[in-house]
Structure 1
Amino acid sequence: MNNEKITRKNPKSMPAPVGNYTHITKIPRTAELYVTSGQIGTDRNGRIPDHMNVQILNTFSNIQAVLAAEGLTADDIIKVNIWAVEPIDWNHLYATWGSLLGQEYPAMTVGYLTALGLPELKIEIEIEIWAAKV
């Protein structure tokens, strides 16, 4: 039985994270690596809602589905990129993350862009999911 697991930490020699993420995520050498495309806020019928917070909810639902398709969970996520075209309601995003994925936060990058792949998109979460299964 393999006792190795993904570990997350924030070195004491660095400032604490300014949000819910970790500075370092370590993946065991024996891990199997998965990389997914960025997920967007389409609903199950392929519609993109107008409101960003609804897009966030749909995006996390889509993230759960793509992870589950490979038997992965939020604990397997090692890196997330969040791209948005308008200010993110962080309270909503963290609450949604917490209710759907739990309180473990991976390494994370956030960026604001002028546009995403479709004009109606307000946010894309690239759980470019670097996820590792050990």
Structure 2
Amino acid sequence: MENAKIVRKNPAGMPDPVGNYTHITKIPRNAELYVTSGQVGVDRNGSFPDPMNEQIKNTFDNIKTVLHSEELTAENIIKVNIWATQKIDWDYLYAEWDKLFGSTYPAMTVGYISELGWPEIKIEIEVWAAKV
């Protein structure tokens, strides 16, 4: 199928993204769509560390595990939604982000909210992916 690939771009006339994301991601017709539940900062023992950055690291580890289970990579990720209950250390988050994505950024939305599913959860990240 001609043009059967995921395309990420920042349209002309738009300001540059204010973070590591692209403004639009185009998914080709007939691609398989994958939507994850929000991944949180729980470790392999089922515990939530208190520091936000440790939860961020665990969250990215959990995202990688979920992706791997379906033979998906960062190339397949088309959209990321991030919710946090406290200020994100963007230098730390982007270090983890860049380990996953390199410079191929998906679309992204970030929201700060008062609470997530359990009181100890400080960050939750939902991933949408497509396989062509």
Task: Please say whether Structure 1 and Structure 2 have the same fold, judged by a TM-score greater than 0.5.
Answer: yes
Q: Which residue of 1 aligns with 2:44?
A: 44
Unpaired stretches in structure 2, ≥5 consecutive residues: none
Q: Which residue of 2 aligns with 1:81?
A: 81
Give aligned-pair identity as a percent: 70
Unpaired stretches in structure 1, ≥5 consecutive residues: none
Q: How does 1:16-95 map to 2 (within 5 A)?
A: 16-95=16-95
Matched AA of 1:131: A
SS of equivalent to 1:120: coil
Quote how far apart the aligned CAs of 1:104 are: 1.6
Cα-to-partner distance string for 1:19-74 (whole Å, 9 max, x where unaligned): 11110000010211111100001111111000000000000000000000001011
SS of equivalent to 1:46: coil
Q: Which residue of 1 aligns with 2:107?
A: 107
Summarize the Cα distance change of 1:122–1:58 in structure 2 as closer, same or farther, 3 Å threshold: same
TM-score of the pair, normalised by structure 1: 0.94
TM-score of the pair, normalised by structure 2: 0.95
Q: Which runs of 4+ in 1 moved over 2 A?
A: 100-103
Summarize the Cα distance change of 1:2–1:49 in structure 2 as closer, same or farther, 3 Å threshold: farther
